[in-house]
Structures are given as C-alpha cells and as structure tokens.
Amino acid sequence: MNKQMKSNNTKKLRLYIFKSNKHIYANLIDDEKEQVITSSSTISKKIKSFKNCANAQIVGKDISLKIKALGVKEIIFDRGKNLYHGQVKAIAEATRKEGIIF
C-alpha cells in the first residue's frame, strides 16, 4: 500500500470481510496501528454455525454492536475480493441498520 493511500485511510477504521469455505469473518482493523480492534464470525460462541445469509446478518449486527461500544460511528467497508452480494451484502445492511455509517 503506498503512503498516500494509507494516509487517507488512517482517519477511519476499516471493516474487512473475509469468507472461507465454511465461515464468514468481520474484522475491524486500525490501519495506522496495523492491528485488529475487534471481530465477529460464524465461529464465535454467540453464533457457532456455518455461513449463510441469515448468519451473516447476525455477524453484521454483532460487529456493529461492538463498533458502537467503541464509540465509532463511521468506518470504511472493505469487502476484499468478494462481490457485494449475498452474505457480504447481508453483513453490510445489518451493520448500517444498527447506525454505522460507511
């Protein structure tokens, strides 16, 4: 990542979505400190099931509650190489429904 691009993204935290064959993960990352602040996934004790759109909504709601608890209102949504469709869209909509802006 070049320095100019990195300096623009340091003002907001980044919500990165990762999908494996069985699970979906949402990680809130601080690019300036290069560390994960909080995360939620279908392997967490609260959810504990395989990925599908219904469980993706639960992950989205869970991560948004954790983000709000940190006092953050605006983030950058990073879907990675995934299309904005299905599970990724479900996480995004659930997060927005809880009041997180991106």
Say if 88 falls within a structural domain.
yes
**Number of compact structural domains in the chain:** 1
* Single pTM value for the model: 0.85
Say if 42 falls within a structural domain.
yes
Say if 40 falls within a structural domain.
yes
Say if 86 falls within a structural domain.
yes
- Domain span at residue 19 reads 3-97
End-to-end, the C-alpha distance of the chain in Å comes to: 21
Tokens representing 92 are 């995004």
Q: What is the pLDDT along the chain (102 residues), one digit of tens a residue?
A: 444 444 444 478 999 999 999 999 999 999 999 999 999 999 998 888 888 999 999 999 999 999 999 999 999 999 999 999 999 999 999 999 999 999
8 A C-beta contact, residue 60 and residue 87: no
Say if 102 falls within a structural domain.
no
DSSP states of 40-59: EETTSTTT-S---HHHHHHH
* Backbone torsions φ then ψ of 8, nearest 5 degrees: -75, -30
Residue 71: CATH number of its domain: 3.30.420.100
